[in-house]
Amino acid sequence: MTRTRDPEQTRRRLLEAASDEIHRSGFQSASLDKILKKAGVTKGALYHHFPSKAALGLAVVNEVVAGKIRSDWVLPLGCCDDPITAIRTTLAEALQTSGSDYVALGCALNNLAQEMSPINEEFRDCCGEVFGEWKGGFADVLRNGQVRGLVRSDIDPESAATFLVAAVEGTVGMMKNAQSLEPGRQSMEMLDAFLESLRPQTPKHSLPVVGLPGAPAGCEDC
């Protein structure tokens, strides 16, 4: 057991170890002993920082899982000025960056939301807030695109954002069941077509259904 005089570092190690163990085993089956062993801290230190296993799990959602969703799926939306290309690029890169994790263990946020939503209101709300931030990221980009005439005015940005998050989470679930990246490739082909269909209808963007390109066309910033 390593004792440290840096409480913040101890807390961070506990959160990282708990995040890893919960991602592998689910919250209910996660072993506190394994978490303590991996973090190299005492049970006393754990309860100093987190009064209960639930408090530790909620902190994992708020601080670790939310951060991963933000860095993979929300912040990269600012990658370029064209909203459709920004979303396509973000989806493709997140699935590429985290694809092997998703195949192995699924999405940490969705795993917890599916396991805990029916049995624990705090977890449900906590996961719901992270989904809300993710959906908000997509909706903001689409709404902003509508103002600038780059996204069809007859679609509801909130509905499209919910659909995008649902499609991503469902796709990650298919990848986890198939233990393969292939469902991700198939879904991305369709998501690209769906996203292109959100452009205002001009001859330039006449709804191509295309294979997965190396990089979305038309973006000079990415």
Cβ proximity to a second copy, 41 vs 103, nearer residue: 103
Rounded CA gap, 108 and 116, in Å?
12
CB 49 within 8 A of CB 17: no
Q: How many other CB atoms are there within 10 angstroms of residue 177's CB atom?
A: 11
Amino acid 44 reads G
Which residues contact a second copy (rule: CB under 8 A)? 24, 26, 28-29, 104-106, 110-111, 113-115, 117-118, 124, 127-128, 131, 152, 154-156, 158-160, 162-163, 165-171, 173-174, 176-179, 183, 185-187, 189-191, 193-194, 197, 201, 207, 209
Taking the complex as a whole, the smallest distance from the CB of residue 167 to a second copy amounts, in Å, to 5
* Distance in Å, CB of 42 to a second copy, minimum: 29
Q: 54 vs 155, which CB is nearer to a second copy? A: 155
- Least distance to a second copy, CB of residue 198, Å: 8
Q: Measured from the CB atom, is 52 or 177 closer to a second copy?
A: 177
- Using alpha carbons, list the distances in angstroms from residue 204 to 33, 72, 207, 218: 59, 30, 9, 11
Look at the alpha carbons of 10, 44, 26, 63 in this order and tell me if their dihedral is positive or negative: negative
